[in-house]
């Protein structure tokens, strides 16, 4: 006597999904965050991957070719005016913490001829501050300062560095 028995394979959509795989992907991404009807953050990237776990959600934004293309970010102040423009090879946006971490040839222009260069920069929307755990250089029309552990406001007006080196132009008038 022969018979058939229905057996479940144990394979489900959840088991097929790789834990390291994004839950969503997008190309030609533009992300905008507003607060009280005012712009707070705009991010543009060639590629975005969204990841979710039980306790967090984050996005990774990159250029289509990480060696060349860049992620473009505009940070706005509380009044909705541009505070800084930043480019980098990669941005990781953490939704719950409302912060991003930029890595790879990070360059920020905070207006008034004030630029920042680093390999790693973290920005928090809640505090309006930027941090670099490693080496950073800030350049203005009258000074170039380099050091470690930058802590600054998002428009780079008020900042601290440790182990500082640099040059300062002194006006003799």
pLDDT 10s digits, 119-142: 999 999 888 899 999 999 999 888
Nearest of 42, 100, 92 to residue 62 by alpha carbon: 92
Is residue 16 scored above 50 in pLDDT?
no
* pLDDT for the residue numbered 67: 54
Nearest of 155, 112, 116, 114 to residue 132 by alpha carbon: 116
- Binned at pLDDT 50, 70 and 90, residue 6 comes out as low
- Binned at pLDDT 50, 70 and 90, residue 63 comes out as confident
- Average pLDDT rounded to a whole number, residues 108-121: 90
Report the chain's mean pLDDT, rounded to a whole number.
84
- Average pLDDT rounded to a whole number, residues 96-112: 89
CA separation for the pair 57, 138 (Å, rounded):
32
Is residue 160 scored above 90 in pLDDT?
yes
Give CA torsion, residues 97, 158, 37, 40, to 10 deg.
Answer: -50
Domains (range + CATH), the chain: 21-168 (2.60.450.10)
Do the beta carbons of residue 89 and residue 62 sit within 8 Å?
A: yes
**Strands of the chain, DSSP E:** 24-35, 38-52, 57-62, 71-76, 82-88, 90-94, 99-109, 115-124, 129-139, 143-153, 159-168
- Binned at pLDDT 50, 70 and 90, residue 19 comes out as low
- The encoded tokens of residue 33 equal 């965050």
* pLDDT for the residue numbered 2: 58
């Amino acid at each position: 006597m022969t018979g058939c028995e229905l057996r479940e394979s144990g394979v489900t959509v959840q088991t097929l999904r790789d834990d390291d795989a994004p839950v969503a992907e997008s190309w030609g991404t533009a992300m905008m965050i507003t607060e009280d009807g005012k712009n707070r953050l705009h991010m543009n990237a060639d590629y975005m991957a969204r990841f979710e776990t039980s306790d967090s959600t984050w996005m990774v934004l990159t250029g289509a070719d990480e060696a060349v293309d860049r992620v473009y970010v505009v940070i706005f102040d509380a009044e909705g005016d541009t505070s800084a423009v930043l480019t980098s090879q990669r941005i990781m946006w953490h939704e719950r913490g409302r912060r991003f971490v930029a890595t790879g040839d990070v360059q920020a222009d905070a207006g008034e001829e004030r630029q920042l260069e680093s390999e790693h920069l973290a920005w928090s929307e809640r505090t309006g501050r930027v941090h670099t755990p490693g080496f950073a250089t800030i350049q203005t029309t009258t000074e170039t300062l380099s050091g470690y552990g930058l802590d600054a406001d998002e428009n780079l007006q008020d900042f601290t560095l440790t182990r500082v080196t640099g040059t300062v132009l002194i006006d003799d008038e």
